[in-house]
Structure 1
Amino acid sequence: MPAIRRVLNVLKAPFVRIGKAYNDTAEKYPMYTGVVTTVIKTSAADLFAQKIVERREEVDWRRHGMFVMFGFGYLGCWQYYLYNDLFVRWCKPITALVGHRGSAPLKTFIDQCIHHPLLYFPCFYTLKGMVEGRPISESMADYSEHLWDNCKALWMIWVPAQMVNFTVVPLHLRIPFVAGVSFAWTVVISCMRGALDTKKPAAEEDTAIMMESVVANANNGAPTSMRSSSIVLQPLFNAATASADCPPEVSTAGSGQVGLQQLIADDARDASSAPLLLR
């Protein structure tokens, strides 16, 4: 046993050093670390969607650039300010009285029932419409039509994730936590649904994965059944710091669009293409 323990210590030592270095950097530069992490996560999620899920021969760099900008501006900068500044100030009396465990439900409610439905999804659909060359009125019609389905998919993953985030995750790691949950969920659900199974027809893979990957996306991530249409990984333009990115148009008895990086390429409307993204 001592020998096994020594081997394990040797194997985990590099990861411990990297984790400590990352934590120290995040403590010293919390906003920069969160924003950079979110941008890298958004970029990786979209590349994963395009090359692994959609199996594109060439990367759509225009779409990729839009996602990265969304990850920087919305999921990184805005969500950092929202979670680490506004939420802290708004809930300060409750936190002082009952601690983070007492204020976490309120923060999660504001994030999931106000922030995402009224701000995140409209921004996502507007960006999606810009990428597809559609008028804002049409994008907002899609937003209204699929709002309830998107919220249900979002809440399945991000309500418990945000409760953990606002309860035990320190401020300087909240944005990285959201980005990590979002990307991990995107990869896991893609593998579970056969995105890595080359024997499965692409159309069938896209159909299965689309609505399963919500929000993105990130941030951003919750399963739902649907028909294939077009999608991309969510939320990075992480629906939030600790909140997440995300498929585009999808329909089935009652399911709709979700996620952020669901932005589809110019040909995304083709039923055979279905990118996936979480916030």
Structure 2
Amino acid sequence: MATIAIIGRIYQQSFDARPHLTLATANGTLSAIGDVVAQSLNKAFPEPNQRPIPYDIQRTVRFFCFGVGMGPIIGRWNQFLEHTFPLRTNSRSTVSMSALAKRVFFDQTVMAPIGIAMFLGSMGVMEGRSNSQLREKYSSLFFPALLANWKVWPAAQLINFRYMPLPYRVPFSQSCGVFWTLYLSLLNAKQDKAQDTNDKKRQTIDA
């Protein structure tokens, strides 16, 4: 517990001094951890007749870069929700369940679709995908990812918005999001594999 308290104190001091850099670093690190877990599981539990897959460090770097970029954006979004839908009118008042519900609703109907769209687009660009491949990625993955998001994140964000102080909301959501990143990583890798297979088939036909 003492170690956790020390880490929490260091994080709070860093957030107070450099909030955007702190959020970017924390979010990027946790995003990278999610991809490390995903790749480790792929190696530990390969598909039948699948050749051994070497660890893709560039893929983890892409997840880190995306997390770094999204950290300050999510931090600003949390500030917007905090000021637009205050949970208490004063320190002695009870928590407004209506305001809490509005926070979760707007988070899931506004930020969730934007976040997924930015993830798919950013990953596609960093992977060097063509415009047609990006369109295919959006067509194949956007709505399945959004529906999966709505099954998981409303409950997590309800806890986050209700109990976590503002500086800790991005790290909390991204800590929960290690498993979400695991899902996105596996989903994105599956789509990349399918696109690469289709490209090889087209090259063979053209040849």
Pairwise TM-score range, normalised by the shorter structure: 0.7 to 0.9
Shift of 1:50: 2.0
Aligned counterpart, 1:40: 29
How far does residue 157 in structure 1 lie from its aligned partner after superposition?
A: 1.2
For normalisation by structure 1, the TM-score amounts to 0.56
**Aligned CA distance change for structure 1 residues 149 and 49 (closer, same or farther; 3 Å):** closer
| TM-score normalized with structure 2 length | 0.73
Match of 2:205 in 1: none
> Runs of 4+ in structure 1 displaced over 6 angstroms?
none
Question: Counterpart amino acid of 1:109?
Answer: F
What is aligned with 2:185? 232
Choose between structure 1 and 2 for higher RCO, CA contacts under 8 A separated by at least 6 residues: 2
Alignment of 1:179 onto 2:174: yes
Q: 1:103 to 1:54 in 2, by over 3 A?
A: farther
Q: Give deviations 1:213-235, integer Å, cap 9, x for gaps.
A: xxx33xx75xxxxxxxxx625xx
Q: 2:102 aligns with which of 97, 106, 121?
A: 106
Q: State the partner residue of 2:143.
A: 148
Q: Which residue of 1 aligns with 2:83?
A: 89
CA distance in 2, matches of 1:130, 1:72: 16
RMSD (Å) for aligned C-alpha atoms: 3.0
Unaligned runs of 5+ in 1: 1-15, 187-215, 222-230, 234-246, 251-256, 258-263, 272-279
- The one-character-per-residue Cα deviations of 1:166-192 (angstroms, maximum 9, x if unpaired) are 001111211111121122xx3xxxxxx
Q: Is the 8 A contact 1:126 1:136 kept in 2?
A: no
How much has 1:22 moved relative to structure 2? Answer: 2.2
Q: Which amino acid aligns with 2:82?
A: V
> 2 CA distance for matches of 1:125 and 1:107?
24
- Alpha-carbon separation, structure 1, partners of 2:126 and 2:28: 19
> Conserved in 2, the CA contact under 8 Å of 1:165 and 1:174?
yes
Q: Measured at CA, do residues 140 and 123 of structure 1 come closer, stay the same or move farther in structure 2, by a change above 3 Å? A: farther
Name the CA shift for 1:132/1:24 in 2 (closer, same or farther; >3 Å).
closer
Mark the CA change 1:87 to 1:144 in structure 2 (over 3 Å): closer, same or farther. farther
C-alpha contact (below 8 Å) 1:34/1:175 kept by paired residues:
yes
CA distance in 1, matches of 2:39, 2:125: 19
Q: CA-to-partner distance for each residue in 1:227-273, whole Å, 9 max, x for gaps?
A: xxxx625xxxxxxxxxxxxx1276xxxxxx8xxxxxx5x787459xx
Cα distance, 1:141–1:58 mapped onto 2, change above 3 Å = closer
Distance 1:40 1:148 in 2: 26
Does residue 1:64 correspond to 2:57, yes or no?
no
| Percent sequence identity over aligned pairs | 20
Q: Is this contact kept in 2: 1:38–1:71, CA < 8 A? A: yes
The question of whether the paired residues in 1 share the 8 Å contact of 2:62 and 2:123 is answered with: no
More helix by share: 2
**How many Å separate the matches in 2 of 1:116 and 1:61?**
27
Aligned to 2:40: 51
Name the amino acid aligned to 1:133. G
State the Cα distance separating 1:96 from its structure 2 match.
Answer: 2.3
One-letter code of the match for 2:106?
Answer: I
Letter in 2 for 1:45: G
Deviates more, 1:150-159 or 1:21-30: 21-30
> What is the CA-CA distance between 1:99 and the residue it aligns to?
3.1
Any stretches of 5+ residues in structure 2 without a counterpart?
Answer: 45-51, 199-207
Structure 2 residue aligned with 1:27, among 12, 15, 23?
A: 12
CA contact (8 A) 1:108 1:162 kept: yes
Structure 2 residue 152 is the aligned partner of structure 1 residue 157: yes
Following the alignment from structure 1 to structure 2, what is the Cα–Cα distance between the partners of residues 174 and 104?
14
